[in-house]
A = this chain, B = another copy of it.
């Protein structure tokens, strides 16, 4: 069974490293990873905020937000 995972970023260097090393390293047998660039797709900022995302890069897995290092505050996007 594949679970949806959403990785929110804003194109920053910290985000790119987290995407390459963490988000894209999740087990493909268990997770279907969607990558969302909130810098370009601002319409999805409220959805990210509702999921508990406070800064990017962040990964939402099983309804929980995991902030990975710190790239930018959601309020700055």
Q: Measuring CB to CB, which residues of chain A are less than 8 angstroms from any residue of chain B?
A: 5, 17-18, 21-22, 25-31, 59, 61-62, 64, 66-70
Q: Which residues of B contact A67 (CB under 8 A)?
A: 68-70
Contact A21/B66 with A27-B26, A28-B27 known, Cβ cut-off 8 Å:
yes
Contact B25 A66 (CB under 8 A): no
| A18: chain B residues within 8 A (beta carbon) | 66
CB distance from A24 to the nearest CB of B (A): 9
Q: Of B17, B21, B30, B70, which contacts A25 at CB under 8 A?
A: B30
Q: Which of B26, B30, B68 contacts A68 (CB 8 A)?
A: B68
Closest residue to A62 on the B side, CB-wise? Answer: B21
